[in-house]
Amino acid sequence: MAAWLVLIYGVLVAAGGVMGYVKASSMASLLSGGVAGVALVASAVAMMKGAYAAGWWIALVIALLLLGRFGSVALTKGFALMPGGLVIILSVIVIAVLLTHRV
């Protein structure tokens, strides 16, 4: 279950990076969302293919980094549901699931 959640989270993060580029012409959103999304998808695949611990750690670190980045923006500029609030909510859910499905 955790691997599938990480896979969906990775796809959404990558899609968010593309949306940031399309809506605001933000190359930083495209690159960071793409890299984080691909890394999350790769970690989910690793979790499914027998390297659960390695994929678990990669997913946890990326989720914590995304939570820290978007959480700090929310604290300084205020909470907005899109895009930061959604990433915060998804990150907290993914972190909680990962911590309850630790090997």
Number of domains present in the structure of the chain: 1
Res 80 pLDDT > 90 = no
pTM of the entire predicted model = 0.92
pLDDT > 70: percent of the chain: 100
Site of tokens 């390695």: 54
Quote the domain boundaries for residue 69: 2-100
CA 41 – CA 44 distance, rounded (Å): 5
Q: What is the CATH number of the domain that holds 91?
A: 1.20.1440
Per the model's pLDDT, the better-predicted residue between 56 and 79 turns out to be: 56
- Report which residue type is found at 92: V
Res 66 pLDDT > 90 = yes
Per the model's pLDDT, the better-predicted residue between 49 and 79 turns out to be: 49
Provide the CA 12 distance to its chain's centre, in angstroms.
8
**What does DSSP assign to residue 82?**
I
Task: List pLDDT tens digits, range 30-49.
Answer: 999 999 999 999 999 999 99
Sign of the dihedral through C-alpha 36, 101, 95, 16? positive
